[in-house]
Structure 1
Amino acid sequence: MDATTPPRSGTRSRNNPRGQGERLRADIIATATEMLDVLADDQALSMRAVAREIGIAATSVYLHFADRDALVLATLERCHSDIMRAMEAADASAADPAEALRARMLLLGTWAQEHTGLYKVLHESTLNQRVEMRFRRDFKESWVAAVERCVAAGLAPRRDPRETAQDLMAAVHGSVSMRINRCATPWPPFAEQLDRFLTGLVGLRPRG
């Protein structure tokens, strides 16, 4: 673990005084991220439990976050930033805009299946009903831009990219959510289903 990596839950840098600094804030977010991925419910998270997991006083957590909603929101914002960076990297390595769009969607599906708890908090939690997650608008706009690049390259029909992106988001999120919440159902491989979405909704040529 290098100097830029926040300590995992239950540990703390000796150079990080208790209750002080951005390093502790990052440690709190990292610990809350791990706990939410297990709990799969923002209401089940406790500020005291996070403090106990790190080994600090609960008051130290409140110095950085006013309440549980603020901590959960900061955690989800970090998840969003991580996903966006991964998607940008996928774009950079793709052969063309169509492959870039597919790589984005495949990355999201893979991340959701590996972090089902975080996905449920991000998209299905009660926090969504109480707090506007502004970063989700940025996420949606990135999908619209990805579809627009496919159209501009002549790889997809000239449809309304915003409507197309919305249809694709509904299909992908619906598929991911059903896989998580109805795990006993024999679903086809996500990559195969995604290719059908991209062909039917975006108008990309079938792969192969």
Structure 2
Amino acid sequence: MNFTPRQRSARGSGAELRAEILDATKKLLARSGHVDAVSIRQIAKIVGVTPPSIYRHFADKDQLIESVVAQVFEDLDAEMLAASDPNESPMERLRQQGLAYVRFAREHPEQYRLAMTPGETAGAVDQVLTSSAFAHFAATITECMNLGVIAPGDPVPVVLELWTSAHGIASLLIAKPYLPWGDVEAFTDRVMRSICVGRVVIDSVLGVDVSADALAEWAVQNRRVS
């Protein structure tokens, strides 16, 4: 395959070339829809370098893909922050963060799938996930606990509940887009609100040991009359 060689970089521009390689890989992932369809040779052609030039920045394709996914999830950090209005209550911000998480996953399906693939070691992707989505959820849930909206305690189990819900929604919307979801944003909002409200009711009203029958009875007694 023929391509125009990239002009020799000026000294100190290695970081710029690395960024170009990451950007080209990200675009190929988005266009091809699967990591197996992305090759070092393709990336080199887009950037305008030889394949060995890429190996000077990344040991192999796996390391390159991991770096791309990590970069994408750094963007998630910014989007979750942007979606959280500091003037809103912690519960409302929790809902906003959940919506931003699902929206981001839908917009970056291949990168999201790769990030959620089980691995034997905690690499750059896991570190980014822990420092962004997990950290934002945890901080907001801690605020809810401090206000007494959610029972005080270790926020980690609550974060995992919320994250499980957001991940489940995102994964199904990506894998089964043809199902009758209706308005996807509205559907996501209903599910996230249900999770948040359910946690508040169980913690603050009925107690964590409430049975399904007792919860149903409470719901009937307190049903809003139109």
TM-score range, shorter chain: 0.7 to 0.9
Q: 2:116 aligned to 100, 120, 123, which one? A: 123
Change (3 A) 1:150 1:19: same
Counterpart for residue 66 of structure 1: 59
Counterpart for residue 185 of structure 1: 179
Shift of 1:202: 5.4
Shift of 1:24: 1.0
TM-score normalised by length of structure 1: 0.79
Measured in 2, the distance between the counterparts of 1:187 and 1:41 equals 24
Alignment of 1:1-208 (within 5 A): 16-17=9-10, 20-91=13-84, 93-124=86-117, 128-132=118-122, 133-138=126-131, 139-158=133-152, 160-187=154-181, 189-201=187-199
Measured in 2, the distance between the counterparts of 1:17 and 1:31 equals 20
Shift of 1:156: 2.7
Measured in 2, the distance between the counterparts of 1:104 and 1:91 equals 6
Check conservation: 2:6, 2:49, Cα contact below 8 A: no
Shift of 1:37: 2.1
Measured in 2, the distance between the counterparts of 1:64 and 1:200 equals 48
In structure 1, the gaps of 5 or more residues are 1-9
Measured in 1, the distance between the counterparts of 2:5 and 2:71 equals 20
Pick which of 61-70 and 35-44 moved more: 35-44
Which ranges of 4 or more aligned residues in structure 1 deviate by more than 4 Å? 10-20, 202-205
Check conservation: 1:94, 1:100, Cα contact below 8 A: no
Give SS of 2:179's match: coil
Check conservation: 2:6, 2:48, Cα contact below 8 A: no
TM-score normalised by length of structure 2: 0.73
In structure 2, the gaps of 5 or more residues are 205-226
Pick which of 155-164 and 113-122 moved more: 155-164
Query: RMSD in angstroms over aligned alpha carbons?
Result: 3.0
Cα displacement string for residues 109-165 of structure 1 (whole angstroms, at most 9, x for unaligned residues): 1112222222222224xxx42442322232423322221112113333335421111
Amino acid at match of 2:119: Q
Give SS of 1:186's match: coil
Cα displacement string for residues 52-101 of structure 1 (whole angstroms, at most 9, x for unaligned residues): 12222111111111111111111111112111122223335441222221
Pick which of 39-48 and 167-176 moved more: 39-48
Sequence identity of aligned pairs in percent?
A: 25
Measured in 1, the distance between the counterparts of 2:10 and 2:39 equals 23
Shift of 1:42: 2.9
Give SS of 2:119's match: helix
Measured in 1, the distance between the counterparts of 2:162 and 2:5 equals 42
Aligned residues: 193
Measured in 2, the distance between the counterparts of 1:159 and 1:12 equals 59
Counterpart for residue 6 of structure 1: none
Measured in 1, the distance between the counterparts of 2:79 and 2:5 equals 27
Check conservation: 1:101, 1:146, Cα contact below 8 A: yes
Check conservation: 1:39, 1:45, Cα contact below 8 A: yes
Check conservation: 1:36, 1:118, Cα contact below 8 A: yes
